[in-house]
Amino acid sequence: MTDALHWLSATDIAKAYADRTLSPTELTQALLQRIEALQPKLHAFIRLDADAAMDAARTAEAELKAGRVRGPLHGIPVGIKDIIDVAGLPTTGHSKILVDNIAKQDAVCVSQLREAGAIIMGKLSTHEFAIGGPSFDLPFPPARNPWNPRHHPGGSSSGSGAGLASGMFPLALGTDTGGSVRNPASVCGIVGLKPTYGLVSRRGVFPLAFTLDHVGPMTRTVADNALLLEALAGHDPLDPGSAPTNARHFSAMLDRGVAGLRVGFVRHFHETDMPAHPDVTAALEDVERILEAEGALVETVTLPKLSEFAGINRVILCSEAWSIHAKWLRERPGDYGALARRRLLAGAFMTAGDYVGAQRRRAELIATVNDKLRDYDVLMCASSMDPASEIDDATETARTYPRQARAPFNVTGHPALAMMSGLSGTGLPVSVQFVGRYFEDATVLRVAAAYEKAAGWYKKHPPI
């Protein structure tokens, strides 16, 4: 094995275990050393559970020696966003409100990871309650971008993005209500999938907005993303949003390429609705050229304006979030950070008519996207319109954070994946987004895998 164990993919780790060229304890020790070196710079973790991780690694190693493999993630480390319950650890939401909230049991998604053999490394930084931005008035410091720690790593799954991109672990869980898996993926140069709404259970995850929330896999490669999704997907009858589906085998089409597939390019999102940074635009044109060279047919398509999707997302998110936070906001407003408090309080001014009207228009937007996906296998569009701003520049962060095309697919619930499409002139990642039909997450992953292989950006790591 090379010295750079921290850059191994989960797929490569599993192969190395099978070949007896690497052990779970060797890998976990190497990652803990990596975390010790980088955590003071990046603040990816809120709570590192090093002793439990090593205990799990020793158990996994003993099982391997005895010829027992619990599942496809056997002995593979994973980080967990800190709005997801891990038994015995605090679920704080990065907030003073829940700083002493100890989870009594694992969230369903964490239980599924353990059943698949994964090693839980600890709890990762997030924006407060998955809605605040990068903040310095919270109990824990905000995570930073490994490509340049002066910049933010996206959010709200900020620790997941920073930890993956810096080689602290090969797999992570994030959540996505308005783009919170795909934003860190976009600006940290990794792969983040918001699965089809209802594909992954959210039971044991602190909610932000019930009808928009998703749990999603975050990884450094598309193959790892499919592997992680296979461990997570499944119907949970106790999650009201969970959908009975036979969608499985998300890795099955990764090597099929894109020849003959039809791709609808939603250009107006980044060309006219919200004009993107030139480096983002240039990278998207390169994605189009690569997909066409690989045999896909790419055509321009039109959806409703980005501002309409964003407005519907905002009304629904703020209304549902207010229903969760109203009591604390009335009784403990000073225990919230300023950003989260301001964003959550907006829900107090939404009316029932606003919410019902937004849900009614939402149904029409869903129908429009479904119509386009009858003609195209996937849609392609921008994710973030800009590279990450400096984390200390509150004005620029406030300007650029909403400049994104992720919220439309929380509104509609379609699977959407963001991944690296290049580097800006300042050396920061830029991105592309692929969107598919309901429960055809495998097709989204197939297109992403073909682009990843042809473009090769997954081989590029931050200079840290």
pLDDT tens, position by position, 275-284:
999 999 999 9
Residue 125 has pLDDT above 50, yes or no: yes
Q: Which residue has the tokens 């010295």?
A: 3
Instruction: List pLDDT tens digits, range 231-270.
Output: 999 999 999 999 999 888 999 999 999 999 999 999 999 9
Task: Convert the pLDDT of each residue in 209-228 to its tens digit.
Answer: 999 999 999 999 999 999 99
How far is Cα 131 from Cα 112, in angstroms, rounded to an integer? 26
Residue 3: the pLDDT is 58
Residue 285 pLDDT > 60: yes
Pick the CATH number of 5-459 from 3.40.50.620, 3.40.1350.10, 3.90.1300.10, 3.40.50.720: 3.90.1300.10
**pLDDT confidence tier of residue 24, bands split at 50, 70 and 90:** very high
Check if the beta carbon of residue 85 is closer than 8 Å to that of residue 107.
yes
Are 301 and 372 spatial neighbours (Cβ–Cβ below 8 Å)?
yes
Rounded to 5°, the CA angle 128-133-134 comes to 95
| 269 and 306 Cβ atoms separated by less than 8 Å | yes
Which phi and psi (to 5°) does residue 381 adopt?
-160, 180
The single residue listed with the structure tokens 């910049």 is 151
pLDDT at 2 over 80: no
In this prediction, residues 397-405 reach a mean pLDDT of: 97
Q: Looking at residue 1, what is its pLDDT?
A: 46
Mean pLDDT of 158-172: 98
Average pLDDT of the chain to the nearest whole number: 97
> What distances in angstroms separate CA 440 from CA 168, 222, 355, 447, 457, one per listed residue?
30, 15, 29, 11, 24
- Report pLDDT for 161: 98
Tell me what the mean pLDDT of segment 343-361 comes to. Answer: 98
- Which residue did the predictor score with more confidence, 132 or 299? 299
Residue extents of the structural domains in the chain: 5-459
* Residue 378: DSSP 8-state: E
Q: Which amino acid is it at 64?
A: L
Active site residue ranges? 81, 156, 180
CA distance 167 to 2: 14
Tell me, what's the pLDDT at 246? 85
- DSSP string over 211-246: TT-EEEEEESSHHHHHHHHHHHB---TTSTT-----
**Residue-level pLDDT at 32:** 98
Q: Is pLDDT above 50 for 336?
A: yes
Cα–Cα distance measured from residue 33 to residue 274, given in angstroms and rounded to the nearest whole number? 42
With CA atoms as reference, report the closest residue to 270 among 408, 112, 88: 408
Task: Count the neighbouring beta carbons within 10 Å of the beta carbon of residue 379.
Answer: 24
Evaluate if residue 21 carries a pLDDT over 50.
yes
Tell me the CA distances in angstroms from 232 to 6, 196, 218, 378, 441, one per residue in order: 23, 12, 12, 22, 13
Provide the 8-state DSSP code for 190. Answer: -
Bond prior to 166 in cis (omega within 30° of 0) = no
With CA atoms as reference, report the closest residue to 228 among 91, 127, 419, 80: 80
Q: Is 263 helix (H, G, I), strand (E, B) or coil?
A: strand
In this predicted structure, the answer to whether residue 307 has a pLDDT above a threshold of 90 is yes
